[in-house]
Amino acid sequence: MTYPFAFSRARRIALSVATGAVLTLATISPSQAAAKIQHLISPGGIEAWFVQDATVPLIAMEYSFAGGSAQDPKDKSGVANLVGDLLDEGSGDLDSKTFHERLDRRAIELSFSATRDSFRGSLRMLRDNKDEAFDLLRMALTSPHFEAADVERIRSQVISGLRRETTNPSSLASRKFLEVAFGDHPYGRQTNGSLDSVPTITVADMKDYVGRVLAKDGLKIAVVGDVDPATLGKLLDQTFGALPAKASLVPVPDIEAGKPPQRAFVPLDVPQTVITFGGPGVKRNDPNFMAAYVVNHILGGGGLSSRLYREVREKRGLAYSVFESLLWMEHSAVFIGNTGTRADRAGDTIDAIEKEVRRIAEEGPTQKELDEAKSYLKGSQMLALDTSSKLAQALLQYQQDKLPIDYIEKRNAIVDAVTFDDAKTAAKCLWGQGLLTVVVGRAPQAAAQPAAAVPKSN
C-alpha cells in the first residue's frame, strides 16, 4: 500500500555487506504470521502487534503517531516533513555527527517520515544491538536538538528539492491534482511544503508539532523479530513511556475529492507531456472497498495485464507505461493514475484513457478478468509479506486502517467473496462520473513546434 505525495528525507544508514546478507534471509510466510501475531501490552500500557520470529537475529519495528502533515499550520506546510528530517540530527547528549556514528557503528537503521495522516518511524537492528537502537530512538523522540546549523542545512536540502520540482512535470502534475481534488483542505497541500512555506518554518513550529503530535494515545506499533514478549514490553516502555499521554490535534474534516469531469493544464516546455488523472475513491472502511480494489486491479493496477496498459501501450503505442491505483486516507479517498507521452500525442492518450474508463464504468469487467484478478491478488500477498520488515509495515498499515488482528488470515476469503455484480457496481461507482485530469507540458497548439519556439514557463 502506497501513499503518493507523502514526501520525506527518510534517512537510511547503510548496513555492512555481512549484515545485509543476514537481513535478506529474514523471511516469514503470511500463514505463519497469521498464527503468530500477538496483541502485546507492555507493563506501562504500550500496545503493539508482535510476531516473534527467531529465524535470524533481527528485529524490525514500524510505528506511527496520528496526525501527519494534516497537522501543519495552513500557511506553513512542510513542518511535519522537516521534523522527520531533523529528529535524527542530534538528541540527548549527542550531536548530529555522534548520533549517526552510533547508528553506523551498530548497523542500526532509523528513519522518520510524514504522510497526510500520520507521522511514521522505522527501526531495524540486529538482536544484540536492540538496547542501543531503542535508546537512540527514545532520545530522538523525546529530546531532539533542532540546532540552528542542522535546521538550516536540512532546510536548504528541502528547498533545493522543491526548486527541482518546479521543472519536474510529474511533481507539478501531482501538486496540481491535489489542488483540484482537495482545494484548501489540508490534503490539498504537499507534505514537503512549498517554496513559500518552508523558509518561514521556525524551530518553535517544529517543537510545537512534536509536543502536539508525538503522544501515546495516537501511537500504533508493529514489531517482527527475534525478541521475547517480556523483553519487548520493557523496551517499548523505555522508548515511548515518557511521551505525553494525549496528543493535541487540530480536527481535520472529512472531504470528498472534487467532482469530475474537470481538466487542468500546466504549461511547461518539455518534450514529454505528463498526464495525471483520477477522481473520488473508496474509503478503507467502505463495505464495497474490496470489490473496488479488485476491479481497480483490472483497469490499471495489474501492470502488463491491465486494461489501460493494453489499450494505451500495446494497441496504440502512445506511452511506455500507464498505471492507476486506489489511495485511501483518514478523511477521504481517491483513485489516481499517471502516464507520460509525446507532446503531440497527449490528446490521443487522454482520449484512450477516458474511453477505457467509460467502458468499464458502463459494462464492468468480464468474468474471466474478475477470476484472474482475484487469483493474482490472493497469490501476491505471499510476496508482499516475505520479509520481517515488510510484515511489520503491513501490520502497522492494518492497524491504521482499523482492521482486525487476524486480517491476514481473512483477506483471501474477502477477496473470494467479491461477486461479478459487486465488481460491476464498484466500477460504476468509481468511474461513472469521469475523470479529474491534469496535463503538464507544451500547450496543444505548440506541441508540434520546435522547443525553441515555445515560451518558457515561469
Which tens digit of pLDDT belongs to each residue from 81-122?
Answer: 999 999 999 998 999 999 999 999 999 999 999 999 999 999
In a shared domain, residues 130 and 185: yes
In this structure, which amino acid lies at residue 279? G
The verdict on residue 250 lying in a domain is no
pLDDT at 447 > cutoff 70: no
In this structure, which amino acid lies at residue 253? P
225, β-bridge pairs = 52, 59
Choose one of 209, 240, 271: the last residue of a domain: 240
**Tally of domains in the chain:** 2
In a shared domain, residues 223 and 316: no
pLDDT at 446 > cutoff 90: no
Local structure of 235: helix, strand or coil? helix
pLDDT in tens, 213-269: 999 999 999 999 999 999 999 999 999 999 999 999 999 999 999 999 999 999 999
Choose one of 240, 271, 293: the last residue of a domain: 240
- 386 confidence band (pLDDT: 50, 70, 90): confident
And the C-alpha cell for 255? 472531504
**CB–CB of 133/110 below 8 Å?**
yes
Which CATH number belongs to the domain containing residue 164 in this structure? 3.30.830.10
| Cα–Cα distance measured from residue 289 to residue 429, given in angstroms and rounded to the nearest whole number | 11
| Cα–Cα distance measured from residue 56 to residue 25, given in angstroms and rounded to the nearest whole number | 7
**CB–CB of 158/195 below 8 Å?**
no
pLDDT at 12 > cutoff 50: no
The verdict on residue 211 lying in a domain is yes
pLDDT at res. 6: 37
Choose one of 188, 205, 240: the last residue of a domain: 240
324, β-bridge pairs = 337
The verdict on residue 195 lying in a domain is yes
The verdict on residue 390 lying in a domain is no
And the C-alpha cell for 54? 527467531
Contacts of 256 (CB under 8 A, 6+ apart): 280, 332
In a shared domain, residues 233 and 183: yes
- The kind and range of the H/E element at 296 are helix 289-296
And the C-alpha cell for 217? 494515545
DSSP conformational letter for 299? I
| Cα–Cα distance measured from residue 259 to residue 181, given in angstroms and rounded to the nearest whole number | 8
Cis peptide before 261 (omega within 30 of 0): yes
Four-residue CA torsion sign, 7, 9, 13, 15: positive
Local structure of 47: helix, strand or coil? strand
Question: Which of 223-233 are b and which e, b meaning 16 or more Cβ less than 10 Å from the residue's Cβ?
Answer: bbbbbeeeebb
pLDDT at res. 34: 52
The verdict on residue 4 lying in a domain is no
pLDDT at res. 311: 86
Q: Are strands 219-225 and 436-441 parallel, antiparallel or unpaired?
A: unpaired
Least Cα distance to 182 among 288, 254, 102, 114 occurs for 254
In a shared domain, residues 272 and 213: no
DSSP conformational letter for 191? T
pLDDT at res. 33: 55
Q: Tell the burial category of 444 from Cβ atoms under 10 Å away from its Cβ (0-12, 13-18, 19+).
A: middle
Instruction: Tell me the DSSP string of 360-407.
Output: HHHH---HHHHHHHHHHHHHHHHHHT-SHHHHHHHHHHHHHTT--TTH
- 381 confidence band (pLDDT: 50, 70, 90): confident
In a shared domain, residues 414 and 379: yes
In a shared domain, residues 269 and 201: no
437, β-bridge pairs = 263, 277
| Cα–Cα distance measured from residue 46 to residue 68, given in angstroms and rounded to the nearest whole number | 20
Q: Taking the CA atoms of the chain, what radius of gyration do you get in angstroms?
A: 23
In a shared domain, residues 167 and 117: yes
And the C-alpha cell for 314? 500495446
pLDDT at 18 > cutoff 70: no
Q: For residue 168, give its domain range.
A: 17-240
| Cα–Cα distance measured from residue 118 to residue 158, given in angstroms and rounded to the nearest whole number | 20
In a shared domain, residues 308 and 415: yes
In a shared domain, residues 330 and 298: yes
pLDDT in tens, 141-151: 999 999 999 99
pLDDT in tens, 35-72: 589 999 999 999 999 999 998 999 999 999 999 999 99
**CB–CB of 252/331 below 8 Å?**
yes
**CB–CB of 349/282 below 8 Å?**
no
Torsion of CA 406, 292, 400, 12, to 10 degrees: 100
| Cα–Cα distance measured from residue 61 to residue 56, given in angstroms and rounded to the nearest whole number | 15
Q: Tell the burial category of 285 from Cβ atoms under 10 Å away from its Cβ (0-12, 13-18, 19+).
A: exposed
The verdict on residue 256 lying in a domain is no
The verdict on residue 347 lying in a domain is yes
Local structure of 119: helix, strand or coil? strand
The verdict on residue 247 lying in a domain is no
In a shared domain, residues 313 and 448: yes
438, β-bridge pairs = 264, 276
Contacts of 286 (CB under 8 A, 6+ apart): 292, 333
In a shared domain, residues 322 and 445: yes
111, β-bridge pairs = 122
DSSP conformational letter for 312? I
And the C-alpha cell for 131? 538496547
In a shared domain, residues 210 and 314: no
Tell me the CA distances in angstroms from 252 to 76, 185, 187, 256, one per residue in order: 16, 8, 9, 13
